[in-house]
Amino acid sequence: MMLEELRHTVWEASIALPKKRLVTATSGNVSARDKESGLVVIKPSGYEFEKLKPEHLLVLNSKGTIVEGNLKPSVDTATHIYVYNHRPDIHSIIHTHSPYATSFAVLGETIPMSLTTLAMEFGTPIPVSDFALIGGEEIGREIVNKIGTCPAILMRNHGVFTLGSNVQAALKAALMLEEAAQTMHYAMLRGKVTELPANIIAQSFKFYQEEYGQRGA
């Protein structure tokens, strides 16, 4: 029952990715880990988002063995499993090729911390990984080694991974990252940007984590 809800939530976030222009065609994926059973729900490989239904999603255990579903899981499955096994605090992972953020990943540069959105949502510059091959645990290892406390990482020459304590948090990080990358791209083309002072970033991040949204209500 709980798992059916998680399946639905992963499906909802999956079909949101192309609508929000974070992915194209079959690229990108969403997974989530059930807090009680530890089972992971993930997108099948190379599946068009527009044809995806909740029942197409795969369920795997923490060793990556399929426990439900007949389709082949995402080629990024080993990476998702690796991250879940090394980050007990994380229960959702989203991978996109969102164009503005990915342009920073192509250049191997982070996004200057010149926006309150970046300060509040991320609190720290978005890390940039080294290049890692797709298909095994390599990307997972890069994420675990480089992401630190940030909910997002720019995967070199590839795209974006975001982590969250739930699917909504991982999706929000993916959306905010692309919006900030877009805005900063425009600013950087027209002039020299200056970053917010470290104390402003720290204060903004703290405020956002403690006061924003309905969590404390």
Which spans of this chain sit near a second copy (rule: CB under 8 A)?
Answer: 24-27, 44-47, 70-72, 75, 97, 99-100, 102-104, 106-107, 109, 114-117, 120, 131, 133-135, 157-159, 171-172, 175-176, 178-179, 182-191, 193, 196, 200, 203-204, 207, 211-217
Place of tokens 């996004």: 111
Of 25, 30, 34, give the one whose Cα is nearest residue 60: 34
Nearer residue to a second copy within complex by CB, 88 or 191: 191
In angstroms, give the least distance from the CB of 174 to a second copy: 9
Place of tokens 């068009």: 48
How many CB atoms neighbour CB 217 within 10 A? Answer: 4
Nearer residue to a second copy within complex by CB, 38 or 67: 67
Tell me the sheet residues that pair with 58. 42
Nearer residue to a second copy within complex by CB, 67 or 106: 106
In angstroms, give the least distance from the CB of 53 to a second copy: 14
Q: Do residues 121 and 162 lie in contact, with contact meaning Cβ atoms separated by under 8 Å?
A: no
Nearer residue to a second copy within complex by CB, 7 or 29: 29
Nearer residue to a second copy within complex by CB, 33 or 43: 43
Nearer residue to a second copy within complex by CB, 124 or 203: 203
In angstroms, give the least distance from the CB of 201 to a second copy: 11
In angstroms, give the least distance from the CB of 134 to a second copy: 6
In angstroms, give the least distance from the CB of 215 to a second copy: 8
Tell me the sheet residues that pair with 68. 59
Cα 61 from Cα 88, distance rounded (Å): 14
How many CB atoms neighbour CB 135 within 10 A? Answer: 12
Report the chain's terminal Cα–Cα distance, integer Å. 28
Q: Do residues 90 and 38 lie in contact, with contact meaning Cβ atoms separated by under 8 Å?
A: no
In angstroms, give the least distance from the CB of 78 to a second copy: 12
